[in-house]
Chains A and B, each alone.
Chain A
Amino acid sequence: MFLERTGKSSSCWAVLRMAAFLILATASLAAQGSSLYTKWINYTPANGFPKGEVYCVTVDGDRVWAGTRDGLVLLENGSVKKVFTTKDGLAGHAVMSVAVDKQTGDVWIATFGGLSRYSGGQFKNYTNLTSGLANDLVYGVAVQGKYVWVATTAGVNRLDTYTGTWSIFNESNAPFEEPWTYDISVTADRIYFAVWGSGVLSYDPEHNSWKPYSDPDGEMELVLYRNQGLIHNVVSSVSYNPGTKTFWASTYFGLSSYDGRNWHNYLTKDSGIVSNFVNAVRSRGNEVWACTQKGLSELNTSTNTWTTYQPDAKTGRGKILVTHPDGRTERIGSSTTLAHNYILNIAFQGDDLWVATAQGLSHGILQPHKEQ
């Protein structure tokens, strides 16, 4: 591991920077003493993993499920246990999302070909023609008690697994501008949906009510004010953090958060996020992980520090860029790194990360980081 710190100072800037430094000293020290993901184990065709994109990853205790361009991969004890494809009964080739029902152990799989349930070693498939599924292009799935929520290109489905009853929510009975739904985040009393062209929708099942969150300027080609509200209506994913009572929304036009009172938006020009094209976001505790097309960016909301992980195409090693609140940056190297810089999804396993990339699955292991 190597570290190169950079400094910039002039007489006037030095004073300003010193003031900022003193204010943020505690936070900065905490960051310097923190750990970083400098150890990565990658799963690629070289160790039995399917080639091509990994669209999603889900942790199920010690097991890890990964959805790929051509099948569903089960990893156990750090190795590929099984690759399920359409030949095994999976509804479609490309697997977009996986959710595990903790009560039953059933695995629900969103594919471009319908919804699959893997239970007792068997697949049962739900398609537009054989069930109440709104559309066979399924982007997301989530489990909330007895309900399975499904994000499709023609709206949202809710399957009552006790009765087998399907419900559909689209522009006819909910505030969808467009029905193209991408992602679902489930909480105890709310379900959040990322909707392409409709922003974020939340559903309160107790009161059967919907609340839309959309781009207040209403224009695709601009962001009117920095923290105006949702940054753009083309939302790719949503993640509710119960600890901070904040939902995060990723778009191809930056990142947004809403804590119930204030919105905060993040672009490359005003934050440490590495790209405005954000495929997915996940948040827990004081961490926000943005899966971008140029790397994996983490915002620590306690220290307001951004850390971006990227592979270096020239050396094959890892590049870690830490951006402090005062704009100061540090570049840190790592001998191992992500399988690819194009990040599609992330899941947590304790302190470990599982990262879906355009060319393989990456397992990130937290390592102590000492400033050199």
Chain B
Amino acid sequence: MAIGREAWNGQFGMGRSPDAIGDMEETKCATATRVRICAAAAVVLIALAGLLALPAWSQSTPPADAAGKAPEPMRYGNMPPSAAPFGRYIKPYHEWYISPDTLAYDGGARSEADGDPAKLKTINIGFLGPLDKDNYDSPYGIAMLHGSQMAIDEANARGGYHGKPFALMVHDDLPLWGASSMAISDMVFNDHAWAMLGSVDSSSTHIELRATLKLELPIMDTATNDPTVTQTRIPWLMHNFPDDRQQGYALADYIFNQLKLKRIGILQVNNRYGRTGKSIFFDTARRTGHQPLVEVWYAPDSTDFSQQLGTLKASGIDGLVIWGDAVQAGLILKQMRAMGMRQPVFGSSRICYPEVLSIAGPAAEGLVTISPLDPTRSDPQWQQFRRSYLARFHAEPDAYASYAYDGMNILLAAIAQAGLNRGRIMDALRQHEMKEYSGVSGKVFFDDTLNDVAPVTMMQIRGGQFVYWPEQRTDWGGKPVTYAR
């Protein structure tokens, strides 16, 4: 039997399914002569297709740039060539997420009966986010709720859906692990929601994702950093927030290729955000020959970091990467400078908040972080949103509010286009694959997994001010940021 199984090797043209071959073969061979001609031609075509299919399958080609010049094929996740797993040793047998059919869906949702707006009082949209003030993630969840609510209210001011208002069905994502796992079931069976937005915590988002594979409710994920939420081939989730993959690539390039640092230490918060967050940075550093010297953790409620900083100091690092939140990062900066540690410090996007500066004061000078958006942009779309948000919530909009506002607008537009049918709403979301979307948070670009892979924004504290600039990776060869796609 083993021989028989191995006989599959080379029997099929590369990149062709048996079904495709069958379809090809099934064509018009009415006579014996034609059968032979068709078959011979099919073999040649299959062989040629096989030769050509390998590059065609392993790389997706984005549209031509504004100048009409076709850019180079895109790698999965905008990955630097040097960061490709096993890239220096072997070409993988198969690569995922780079084919237009990555999220192909053959289920029955599209043929479900449409909802009739005449029979509905409201068009319900589910919301799952951390809202309780005792929840560590609640500042992000509350901002996400505010952004979502603004988009809903604006849509209702424009007439809602066929005259019926959209309504947000709000569910609190509880801090106890798994406690909110029934939220999506409630949205489907009790709220009769047509789609949902959420959450911040990647575990909760994964739970939603697994449940929606069965319950088939479109999810707009506007806040999770975890890049694995779009690595499941489940077509029901769209993600518009810069994930840890993009953040990790940007930081690794900046630290190792631009600043030429060599001895990096990592200090991460010991929760899922910290654990999964730094992994892309860590792997990229390792693959590019810059294995981090030391990696230490801290509890989410820590205030004294002397033990961790002592370890880092003794390791002789020439730079520190913190994967955590702004409050702890502020304390870390203050304490490490007091210990005489002058190394440059870099951080993940959750550190890019005013708290880091207010807590660390002058010790924050020079800190470089990823920022999900550039709040100093002057374009009218951002400025209008900023003014409206400030007037309503008496606070500057952060990234979580901005991406939620954009995500909700994408969702509402999909409903307007598709009608009250969850399968077709998912189809409408999938129309964003390999396309750019311009929102208040800036320009994002969705790949074949419906994940945002646009370049990120960098931030540095200079003279007590947050200074922003677009990421410019060295593997782009000095070409403009837009070329990265």
Residues of A participating in the B interface, judged by any CB pair closer than 8 Å:
4, 6-10, 13, 20, 23-24, 27, 52-53, 55, 69, 92-94, 96, 112-113, 128, 134-137, 153-154, 178, 180, 196-197, 217, 219-226, 228, 234, 252-253, 262, 264, 267-272, 274-275, 277, 293-294, 301-304, 306, 308, 321, 323, 325-327, 329, 331, 340-342, 358-359
Query: What per-residue 1/0 map shows which CB atoms of B206-246 lie under 8 Å from chain A?
Result: 11001100111000000000001001111000000000000
Q: Is the CB of A269 within 8 A of B14?
A: yes
B97 sits at the interface (CB 8 A):
yes
Q: Is the CB of A112 within 8 A of B182?
A: yes
Can you give 27 contacting A-B residue pairs, CB < 8 Å?
A: A6-B25, A7-B35, A8-B38, A8-B42, A10-B40, A10-B43, A24-B4, A52-B112, A53-B216, A113-B182, A180-B206, A217-B92, A220-B231, A222-B85, A223-B93, A223-B96, A224-B90, A228-B93, A252-B233, A252-B234, A268-B17, A271-B18, A304-B7, A306-B18, A325-B8, A327-B11, A342-B108
Residue from B7, B14, B95, B211 within 8 A of A20 (CB atoms): B7
Complex alpha-carbon distance, A306 and B36, angstroms: 25
Query: What per-residue 1/0 map shows which CB atoms of B31-69 lie under 8 Å from chain A?
Result: 000011011101100000000000000000000000000
Q: Is the CB of B26 within 8 A of A223?
A: no
B104 sits at the interface (CB 8 A):
yes
Q: Is the CB of A323 within 8 A of B18?
A: yes
Q: Is the CB of A180 within 8 A of B210?
A: yes
Interface centre among A225, A252, A253, A270 (most CB of B within 10 A): A270
Q: Is the CB of A221 within 8 A of B106?
A: no
B111 sits at the interface (CB 8 A):
yes
Q: Is the CB of B185 within 8 A of A222?
A: no
In this complex, how many residues of chain B approach chain A with their Cβ under 8 Å: the count is 65
Complex alpha-carbon distance, A8 and B38, angstroms: 8
Complex alpha-carbon distance, A246 and B438, angstroms: 51
Q: Give B29's nearest chain A residue, CB to CB.
A: A6
B1 sits at the interface (CB 8 A):
yes
Contacts of B35 in A (CB 8 A): 7
B307 sits at the interface (CB 8 A):
no
Q: Is the CB of B8 within 8 A of A8?
A: no
Contacts of B393 in A (CB 8 A): none
Interface centre among A220, A262, A267 (most CB of B within 10 A): A220
Q: Give B89's nearest chain A residue, CB to CB.
A: A224
Q: Is the CB of B22 within 8 A of A329?
A: yes
Q: Is the CB of B106 within 8 A of A359?
A: no
Contacts of A294 in B (CB 8 A): 19, 106
A153 and B210 in contact (CB under 8 A), knowing A226-B93, A359-B108? Answer: yes
Q: Is the CB of B43 within 8 A of A331?
A: no
